[in-house]
């Protein structure tokens, strides 16, 4: 079973591998069909995510960050070779939805989407598999996921939102809207037992869905989400910072950047908590949209990312991947690699998302 350090909450850890898992994908016919629309008529996220398409090129052009770009290259290449024929990543177990969504997000973060990019087919297959796992009520989770289903669903919804924002595909938009509706119905339910990172993925999916006009802002209580992240006894470092700054993009919550809190968050996270590191870096870049965050914060962030590149595997079939944190299962290699690629993409992943 994967460990907390591999990027999933304690609720995910409670699910056993013997549970009933993935269903045979029931992918809607014409999932990516434009329905008579032209790609030029869409472009809803073209400006928001425009920096992604040439982000890695800019990283490569700077001696200081060239190694980051090369690590992203190798990571995506390795991940692309790990996809099953049906679009899934990793084993067909109770965590397949969350794992596949995390890997797809790594490709989306580099500018690849279902309609364009070198890895277009990888993204298409992954999104189609996720939609194939959607249940009639809108939930996207492997059957038998149990308490993990909300976090799995939140990750899948975030992947669908980003994919749906890049081109005219009415059936994909419909699946995304139904996923967001399920999220709104259950995100506030059972707050006492939810892990804060589940709230973070939920908030990110909902806020970006709002940017697309697919998620009514009034359906989700951002103040409650942030409060839960800050007050939760098992809060993951970086989560409150990320949720707060994303929520602030809709002028719903005012969260000031705390340089000391950020420093405490990033120190020592590289190996121990890939998800916490990712949230901290996302929060830093979001906070920077509202004003200076201090050179020391950027220096710490650069040191964290510099520390990733020497740890990337260079041997044989594992070249381009990262070993899971100590104690993680081998099945966690996909998630760990995707999370580290996402972290290296943070300089350009959400640069233009906030207003």
Give the start-to-end residue ranges of the domains of the chain.
Answer: 46-349
Q: What angle do CA 1, 324, 281 make, to 5 degrees?
A: 115
Q: Is the pLDDT of residue 50 over 90?
A: no
CB 197 within 8 A of CB 164: no
Categorize the per-residue pLDDT at 223 as very low, low, confident or very high, splitting at 50, 70 and 90.
low
In 3D, which of 90, 198, 89 has the Cα closest to residue 147?
Answer: 198
The average pLDDT across 225-251 equals: 56
In 3D, which of 228, 158, 177 has the Cα closest to residue 199?
Answer: 228
Name residue, tokens 């975030």: 158
CA separation (Å) from 306 to 270, 299, 343? 10, 10, 11
How far apart CA 270 and CA 306 sit, in angstroms, is 10
CA separation (Å) from 251 to 222, 246, 279? 10, 9, 20
How far apart CA 329 and CA 333 sit, in angstroms, is 8
Categorize the per-residue pLDDT at 195 as very low, low, confident or very high, splitting at 50, 70 and 90.
low
Categorize the per-residue pLDDT at 87 as very low, low, confident or very high, splitting at 50, 70 and 90.
very high
Positive/negative CA dihedral, 184, 124, 73, 327: positive
Architecture of domain 46-349: Alpha/alpha barrel (1.50)
Q: What is the three-class DSSP state of 15? A: coil
Q: Is the pLDDT of residue 342 over 50?
A: yes
CB 186 within 8 A of CB 157: no
In 3D, which of 162, 117, 154, 153 has the Cα closest to residue 134?
Answer: 153
Name residue, tokens 């002028």: 251
Categorize the per-residue pLDDT at 297 as very low, low, confident or very high, splitting at 50, 70 and 90.
confident
How far apart CA 67 and CA 55 sit, in angstroms, is 14
CB 280 within 8 A of CB 229: no
The average pLDDT across 296-310 equals: 87
Question: Which among 84-93, 186-195, 201-210 has the top mean pLDDT?
Answer: 84-93
The Cβ of residue 135 has, within 10 Å, a number of other Cβ atoms equal to 15
In 3D, which of 222, 245, 256 has the Cα closest to residue 353?
Answer: 245
Rg (Cα) of the chain, in Å, rounded? 18
């Amino acid at each position: 079973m994967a460990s907390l350090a591999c990027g999933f909450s304690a609720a995910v850890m409670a699910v056993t591998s013997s549970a009933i898992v993935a269903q045979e994908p029931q992918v809607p016919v014409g999932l990516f069909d434009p329905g008579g629309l032209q790609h030029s008529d869409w472009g809803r996220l073209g400006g928001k995510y425009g920096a992604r398409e040439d982000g890695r090129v800019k990283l490569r052009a700077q001696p200081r960050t060239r190694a980051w770009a090369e690590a992203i290259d190798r990571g995506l290449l390795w991940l692309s070779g790990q996809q099953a024929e049906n679009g899934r990543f990793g084993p067909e177990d109770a965590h397949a939805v969350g794992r596949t969504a995390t890997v797809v997000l790594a490709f989306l973060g580099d500018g690849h989407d279902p309609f364009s990019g070198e890895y277009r087919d990888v993204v298409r297959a992954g999104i189609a598999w996720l939609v194939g796992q959607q249940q009639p009520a809108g939930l996207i989770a492997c059957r038998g996921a149990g308490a993990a289903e909300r976090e799995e669903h939140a990750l899948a919804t975030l992947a669908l939102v980003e994919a749906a924002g890049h081109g005219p595909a009415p059936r994909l938009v419909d699946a995304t809207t139904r996923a967001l509706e399920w999220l709104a119905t259950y995100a506030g339910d059972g707050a006492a037992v939810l892990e804060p990172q589940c709230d973070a993925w939920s908030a990110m999916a909902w806020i970006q869905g709002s940017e697309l006009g697919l998620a009514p802002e009034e359906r989700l209580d951002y103040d409650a989400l942030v409060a839960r992240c800050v007050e939760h006894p098992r809060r993951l470092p970086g989560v409150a910072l990320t949720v707060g700054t994303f929520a602030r993009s809709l002028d719903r919550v005012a969260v000031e950047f705390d340089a000391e809190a950020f420093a405490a968050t990033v120190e020592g996270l590289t190996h121990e908590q890939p998800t916490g590191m990712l949230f901290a870096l996302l929060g830093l870049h979001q906070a920077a949209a509202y004003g200076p965050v201090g050179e020391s914060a950027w220096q710490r962030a650069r040191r964290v990312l510099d520390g990733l590149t020497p740890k990337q595997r260079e041997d044989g079939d594992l070249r381009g991947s990262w070993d899971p944190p100590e104690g993680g299962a081998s099945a966690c290699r996909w998630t760990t690699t995707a999370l580290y690629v996402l972290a290296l993409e943070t300089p350009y992943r959400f640069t233009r998302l906030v207003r």
